[in-house]
Amino acid sequence: MQVEIDQSGKIGNTGQDTVVAYSNADSFCVLIPRQVKRECLRYLRSQGVAVNTIYYRMFGIGLFYLLRERIDKIDLTLIDVEYPGHEAAIRRYLLNLLRRDRIVVQPDKIRFSFIGKKSNAHKLGLETFQGKRRADVTLTAGDILKQFGEK
């Protein structure tokens, strides 16, 4: 099975929620509420974590929670290019999170591509972002900071 992943609401925009969703034969979406993003950002800044890396890592954490229980059923994961030029770092971080959770994935199973607005992942993410659909998982600050190695 091949899945496409899209993000609705940038992680760096703390005035809105972020949804990371995948869809094709199966679908799943993860919500990162704006309040959670603000709390994590405040805490991580106070710990000296560079702001620009916080966003890429938080995106990777959203991907981790999206994929961790399903990645074994997926042959190819296509992730929308949300942070151009940082795909290798995001992939590396995601793979490390999965390995830490004892899930080994071949790096070539995770690729980045431009996912258009016609993608089911885009539609699912947007519906969830707009409140028309409930997220399958809503992350807390604890969920995110645990993956950062904090708290």
Please spell the DSSP secondary structure of 113-139, one letter per residue: EPPPTTSHHHHHHHHHHTTSS--SEE-
Q: Domain limits of the chain?
A: 2-148
Tell me, what amino acid is at 45?
Answer: R
How many CA atoms lie within 13 Å of 142's alpha carbon, on the beta-carbon side? 0
Kindly report whether the global pTM for this prediction surpasses the value 0.85. Answer: yes
How far apart (Å, rounded) are the C-alpha atoms in residues 8 and 150?
A: 26
Taken as a whole, the chain contains a residue count of 151
Looking at residue 90, its pLDDT comes to 95
Q: How far is CA 5 from the centre of its chain?
A: 9
Instruction: Show pLDDT as tens, one digit a residue, over the chain (151 residues).
Output: 889 999 999 998 999 999 999 988 789 999 999 999 999 999 999 999 988 889 999 999 999 999 999 898 889 999 999 899 999 999 999 999 999 999 989 999 999 999 888 888 999 999 999 999 999 999 999 999 999 886 5
How far apart (Å, rounded) are the C-alpha atoms in residues 59 and 6?
A: 11
Looking at residue 25, its pLDDT comes to 77
Give the residue among 62, 61, 55 at the shortest CA–CA distance from 85.
55
47 φ/ψ sector (left φ>0, alpha ψ -120 to 50, else beta): alpha
